[in-house]
Copies of this chain bind each other. A is one copy, B any other.
Amino acid sequence: MSHPPSVLIVGAGALGLVAAYTLQEYGGCDVTLIVKIGFEKACQNGYSFNSVQFGKFSGWKPRYLRESVHDTFHEYDYVIVSVKNLPDGPEPVEDIIRPVIERSPHSAVILFQNGLDIEKPLIEQFPGHVILSGVSLINCTNIDFVVNQMNEDSIQLGLFENPTIKDLAAAREQLGQFVRLYSIEGKNTVSLDDNVRLSRWKKLVYNASINTTTALVQMDVTRATIAGFKESLCRPIIEEIYAIAKADGYTIPPEMEDQMLNLSNGLYYKPSMCVDVDLGRMIEVETIVGNPLKLAKKYGVDAPRLDTIYHLLKMVQLRTMEKEGLIVLDQKNGVAKKNFAA
């Protein structure tokens, strides 16, 4: 590519904004950011950063701001997806990015999202399209246009296993170029992930246990730890995750358990799913719990605790969707009717 690489970033959460800043200011990319909520305000005032990596400043904007993917008309080299992954909601990822993917057949999609098997709907809908995995370990929030970044960006990038890709060498080259664009020497850590699925299983150790249980009882990690949840809830759930991963052909290193359990030690910190429940937002229950459970069923692995957690969280999801008007309860027939087309 001789022109500056063009990047569309879908989702103006903390992750999307750190990516936007990194790629525009260091990677020399032409960045377009989709801002669904607060678009006008973002256009007027931009974003403030309070970042261990980039410093403290305000009024920063990516080159282009758009309210929706439907407001973009160019071809992009990279499409970063940093919105929540909600296949049970009105806007599954494949629907959100379809317009831009159809227009950008040579782009690579990068999923900056948690969970397992999130590439599957995209491979099905966009066969042959390069899809990259981004597993981030950043500790960052974006509240009211202020990005607070507590530690350095650390991200693993790799290719999802994708049988529809014909030219694997070209796909690897696209991945390599993105890694170069994203890397800032001495400022962040970008590593090539040659086992994307294992990385995702590893991250599930945290997300399927600590994230889910604190979300159900709306409690920060320190309080939950005092309540004994690491031993009574997390370890037994993690045991199930290890067993499902093993049946799936992936051995999560044993030390990952304690590493993940101690990640938030001493912090009165609410994990993302817990914050989502507090704020009445939809949660990523399908990609974090539902998809691993489907595999458990497929492989005949017993996972009663994860199953219990899943169905409780699906009740929470129904509660949220009703409040948001996304579903209407039909009492007479005892069903929930979707208020959206998907």
Give the number of times this chain occurs in the complex, counting copies: 2
Q: Is A226 part of the binding interface, using a Cβ–Cβ cutoff of 8 Å?
A: yes
**Interface SS of chain A:** helix
A217: contacting residue among B222, B224, B316, B322, CB under 8 A: B316
CB atoms of A336 and B233 under 8 A apart:
no
Residues of A within 8 A of B (CB): 213, 216-219, 222-229, 232-233, 236, 266, 268, 304-305, 307-309, 311-312, 314-316, 318-319, 322, 329, 331, 334-336
CB atoms of A314 and B227 under 8 A apart:
yes
Q: Given A217-B316, A223-B329, verify A308-B311 contact (CB < 8 Å).
A: no
Smallest Cβ distance from A227 to chain B, in angstroms?
Answer: 5
CB atoms of A233 and B334 under 8 A apart:
no
Most buried by B among A218, A223, A311, A319: A311
13 additional contacts (CB under 8 A) given A219-B319, A304-B308:
A216-B216, A217-B312, A222-B334, A223-B322, A226-B329, A227-B314, A227-B318, A227-B336, A232-B311, A233-B308, A236-B307, A266-B331, A304-B305
- Give A308 to B218 CA distance when docked, in angstroms: 16
**9 CB-based A-B contacts, threshold 8 Å:** A222-B334, A226-B329, A226-B335, A227-B315, A228-B314, A236-B304, A304-B305, A305-B305, A312-B312
Q: B residues within 8 A CB of A336?
A: 226-227
